[in-house]
Amino acid sequence: MRWREKGLTYAVVVPFAIFLAFPFYFALVTMFKTNLDLANVEHSPYVYNDLQGHFHWDFWNYATTEHVRFLFEDTNYPTWLLNTLLVGAAVVAITLLLAMPAGYALARLAGGWGQSAGVAIFLIYLVPPTLLFLPLSRLITQLDLKDTLWSLILIYPSFTVPFATWLLMGFFKTIPQELEDAALIDGASRLKALYLIVLPISLPGVLTVVIFAFSLCVNEFIYAFTFISSSEQRTVSAGIPNDLIRGDVFFWQSLMAAVLIPTIPLALLYNAFLDRFIKGFTGGAFR
Amino acid sequence: MEAESARLKPAERRWQHALESRRVLALLLIAPAVIFMALVVGVPFVWAIYLSFTDAIGGSLTGHWVGFDNFANAWQDDNFRRALRNTLIFTFASQAIVVVGAAVLSNFLVRDFRGKWIVRFLVVLPWAAPVVLSTIAWLWLLDSLYSVVNWTLARLGLDDGLVWLLGAVHLEEDASVPLQWLGRPNLALIAITVVHAWRILPFAVVIFIAGRASIPTEVEDASKIDGATGLKKLWYVDLPLQLPIALVAVLFGIVFTAADFAVVYILTHGGPFNSTQVLPTWAYAIGIDSGSLGEGAAISLFLFPLLVLVSVGMLFFARRAQVS
């Protein structure tokens, strides 16, 4: 009975994992393919082949890194990565500054209406950029921010702040009130208790917010796409589809490298912080 | 501490006292976030509504009042209706796949088995990957000439059968080998639905698992005593208890699919012949490409009723989940 259960688990879980991860496996194979190997439709696309289309176990001798080098030396990709990091860092800083006090107040101080206000703020996160990008693109032009990273730094907190407030509210709720009360009795002010007691304990939660807010910035497309038109000012999400996909000429190997390089570190971070994310996400109200 | 505050001037003491009051402090802490969101979400939102009633064109922020003309014009356009239809198809078809997939996968992923961490890593990948980038990976999988899907179907000898099947069910009457996944209207609809389901599924699985974790252990024991096992237990015990949180995952999925711009824009640009346009891409085509800001705003506002429905559902289930 036991081994049948196990077998069933694998029979379900493995096909799902293959389906979900396959595009990334395929991207990984493609990024090191030689042009001749890639362009021959008789060759197996799953592995590296010699000129006759045969697979060898020393497959790395039939692969190439020239397209990865091309990506870093002959395109704006490094600039986009840097821009993404800059925008992400600035947006995360603004987000924490606004969302930490709000999340704390909603979890602790606001009383009965704190719950409703928390859900209301969260609903703002559901107002999609596709509803707002038309007026915002005009506004950015009026403010003379078009084609600058500042436009993204100003607008991205519009979705990271509600998201982070919600998560932080969930985290703060899991910290026992007694800890703070003890500090208050010892004579600390509320702000001091927040700073000395609550912040250090909620550091893992804050780190989770940093990672997920940052990844929201990397994900964003329509604002980056409409606000910015010069290649040097783009982020990865807007730069790759705009500059590396030109008409029918695709640099598939370079494109796949460009896809995988930001994905792998993000995936590792997601896995490391997934449990905490769930705790904050579902701890806010859905308990 | 006492001595310290006694040394302060009376005005400062009053100020410090105010900071100790829950209500004042709460307002002070919440205010910056609320003001900021009012400015960057509230103002543009009201502005979008205003623009939708004007004849504003690209480059201007205002226009003449035209009443409901923009909405009427949009509605009379076949492309708009198709965009609305496609938005609904993509949203509900992909979420149906997501719900079934997440219900099954989450119930197996909570078990203990060897290699669980690597499975979890692989399952979470589509969620962690930036949506634009993973969509480009799909663009390559579905390429007109080099599609690995077609290559595999051909090697398995399934491609002719699939073409026949597509014709038999009247999905694609004159498709041929190799299949143009993004170049034929109905195949592109299928492809986009699958990509949406693929990218939302990991998030739903994760939330479903959280929902399972919230089931008290007493329930587990009670169902064991009552003899509920396997599918019976899944259907009568686990799923109903997971329902409130699962619905939250679904509502999320609905918003993120209905409002998504990147997947359709990158896979098909709304083509072939506008057959895969959705409301966001059509709003972009009219509002930015054609410069009819007013009509573009009107088109994007058609998303709003869906959003309100989802929000109401969310509030409702959040409350219910809390009570139980």
| Model confidence pLDDT, tens digit, residues B301-323 | 998 888 888 878 777 776 665 54
For residue B244, the model assigns a pLDDT of 74
Residue A248: pLDDT band with limits 50, 70, 90? low
Say how many C-beta atoms besides its own lie within 10 A of residue B79's C-beta: 16
Rounded to the nearest angstrom, the gap between the alpha carbon of residue A189 and the centroid of all alpha carbons in its chain is 37
Rounded to the nearest angstrom, the gap between the alpha carbon of residue B316 and the centroid of all alpha carbons in its chain is 19
Across the interface, whether the CB atoms of B123 and A129 are under 8 A apart is answered no
- pLDDT(A153) > 90: yes
Domain shared by B48 and B93, yes or no: no
Across the interface, whether the CB atoms of B40 and A155 are under 8 A apart is answered yes
B211 in any annotated domain: yes
Amino acid identity of residue A251, one-letter, is: F
Domain shared by B186 and B47, yes or no: no
Give the integer Cα–Cα distance in Å for A56 and A47: 9
- pLDDT(B36) > 90: yes
Of residues B93, B86, B91, B88, the one with CA closest to residue B268:
B86
What is the arithmetic mean of pLDDT over A195-207? 86
* 3-state secondary structure at position A55: strand
Choose the CATH number for A78-246+259-283 among 1.10.3720.10, 1.10.10.1100, 3.40.50.10420, 3.40.50.300.
1.10.3720.10
Q: What is the mean pLDDT of chain A?
A: 87
For residue A51, the model assigns a pLDDT of 84
Domain shared by B249 and B102, yes or no: yes
B99 touches chain A (CB under 8 A): no
Residues 245-304 of chain B with CB under 8 A from chain A are: 245, 248, 252, 255, 258-262, 265-266, 279-280, 283-284, 287-288, 293, 296-297, 300-301, 303-304
Domain shared by B45 and B187, yes or no: no
Domain shared by B114 and B252, yes or no: yes
B94, two tokens:
């992909």
**Backbone torsion region of residue A235, taken as left when φ is above 0, otherwise alpha when ψ lies between -120 and 50, otherwise beta:** beta
For residue B324, the model assigns a pLDDT of 41
B105 in any annotated domain: yes
- Chain B contacts of A131, Cβ < 8 Å? 45, 48, 259, 300-301, 303-304, 307
Give the integer Cα–Cα distance in Å for B132 and B129: 8
B44 in any annotated domain: yes
DSSP annotation of B36 reads H
> Into how many domains does chain B fold?
2
For residue B71, the model assigns a pLDDT of 92
| Residues B19-44: b if buried by 16+ CB within 10 A, e if exposed | eeeeeebbeebbeebbebbeebbbeb
B279: domain CATH number is 1.10.3720.10
Give the integer Cα–Cα distance in Å for A280 and A103: 11
- Chain A contacts of B22, Cβ < 8 Å? 109, 111
Across the interface, whether the CB atoms of B303 and A130 are under 8 A apart is answered yes
Domain shared by B92 and B232, yes or no: yes
What is the arithmetic mean of pLDDT over B161-169? 85
B168 in any annotated domain: no
Over residues B130-153, the pLDDT tens digits come to 999 999 999 999 998 889 999 999
Q: Are B166 and B175 contacting, i.e. CB atoms less than 8 angstroms apart? A: yes
Of residues A154, A175, A174, A158, the one with CA closest to residue A99:
A158
For residue A120, the model assigns a pLDDT of 81
B99 in any annotated domain: yes
Domain shared by B208 and B240, yes or no: yes
What are the angstrom distances between the C-alpha of A97 and each of A151, A157, A272, B30, B78? 19, 11, 24, 11, 47
Q: Pick the range with the lowest mean pLDDT from A217-221, A231-235, B177-181.
A: B177-181
Give the integer Cα–Cα distance in Å for A227 and A239: 12
Of residues A209, A218, A207, A74, the one with CA closest to residue A152:
A218
In chain B, % of residues over pLDDT 70? 90
Q: Which residues pair with A245 in a beta bridge?
A: A250
What is the arithmetic mean of pLDDT over A151-165? 94
Check residues B26 and A93 and name the one with the higher pLDDT: A93
Across the interface, whether the CB atoms of A278 and B137 are under 8 A apart is answered no
DSSP annotation of A234 reads -
Across the interface, whether the CB atoms of A129 and B321 are under 8 A apart is answered no
Rounded to the nearest angstrom, the gap between the alpha carbon of residue A209 and the centroid of all alpha carbons in its chain is 11
Q: Pick the range with the lowest mean pLDDT from A60-69, B165-174, B261-270.
A: B165-174
Burial category of B287 from C-beta neighbours within 10 Å (exposed 0-12, middle 13-18, buried 19 and up): buried
For residue B251, the model assigns a pLDDT of 84
Could you please report the per-residue DSSP string of A133-196?
HHHHHHHHHHTT-TTSHHHHHHHTHHHHHHHHHHHHHHHHHTS-HHHHHHHHHTT--HHHHIII
Most B-contacting residue of A1, A8, A13 (CB-CB within 10 A), to test interface: A13
For residue B308, the model assigns a pLDDT of 85
DSSP annotation of B237 reads I
Residue B7: pLDDT band with limits 50, 70, 90? low
Give the integer Cα–Cα distance in Å for B55 and B291: 11
For residue B321, the model assigns a pLDDT of 55
Give the integer Cα–Cα distance in Å for A248 and B252: 35
For residue A244, the model assigns a pLDDT of 83
For residue B18, the model assigns a pLDDT of 61
* 3-state secondary structure at position B65: strand
Q: Find the domain containing B254 and state its range.
A: 72-144+180-323
Q: Which residues pair with B54 in a beta bridge?
A: B65
Across the interface, whether the CB atoms of A134 and B293 are under 8 A apart is answered yes
Domain shared by B132 and B223, yes or no: yes
Of residues A83, A116, A67, A84, the one with CA closest to residue B318:
A116
For residue B212, the model assigns a pLDDT of 77
For residue B323, the model assigns a pLDDT of 45
B65 in any annotated domain: no
Q: Where in chain A is the domain with CATH 1.10.3720.10?
A: 78-246+259-283
Check residues B14 and B23 and name the one with the higher pLDDT: B23
For residue B19, the model assigns a pLDDT of 62
Rounded to the nearest angstrom, the gap between the alpha carbon of residue A85 and the centroid of all alpha carbons in its chain is 11
Across the interface, whether the CB atoms of B48 and A135 are under 8 A apart is answered yes
Q: Are B23 and A113 contacting, i.e. CB atoms less than 8 angstroms apart? A: no
Over residues B82-129, the pLDDT tens digits come to 999 999 999 999 999 999 999 889 888 888 888 888 999 999 999 999
Give the integer Cα–Cα distance in Å for B128 and B323: 32
What are the angstrom distances between the C-alpha of B321 and each of A97, B102, B307? 31, 19, 21
Across the interface, whether the CB atoms of A161 and B288 are under 8 A apart is answered no
3-state secondary structure A87-125: HHHHHHHHHHHHHHHHHHHHHHHCCHHHHHHHHHHHHHH
Domain shared by B77 and B39, yes or no: no
User: In angstroms, what separates the C-alpha of B205 from chain A's closest C-alpha?
Assistant: 11
Rounded to 5 degrees, φ, ψ at B142 are -105, 15
B61 in any annotated domain: no
Residue B2: pLDDT band with limits 50, 70, 90? very low
- Chain A contacts of B47, Cβ < 8 Å? 135, 139
- Chain A contacts of B16, Cβ < 8 Å? 189
Give the integer Cα–Cα distance in Å for A53 and A30: 15
* Nearest chain B residue (CA) to A164: B33
Q: Any idea what the Cα angle at residue B259 is, between residues B256 and B265, rounded to 5°?
A: 105
B303 in any annotated domain: yes
- pLDDT(B16) > 80: no
Domain shared by B124 and B1, yes or no: no
Domain shared by B116 and B265, yes or no: yes
What are the angstrom distances between the C-alpha of A252 and each of A84, A155, A240, A256, B270? 22, 32, 11, 6, 22
Q: What is the mean pLDDT of chain B?
A: 85
What is the arithmetic mean of pLDDT over A235-244? 90
For residue A287, the model assigns a pLDDT of 43
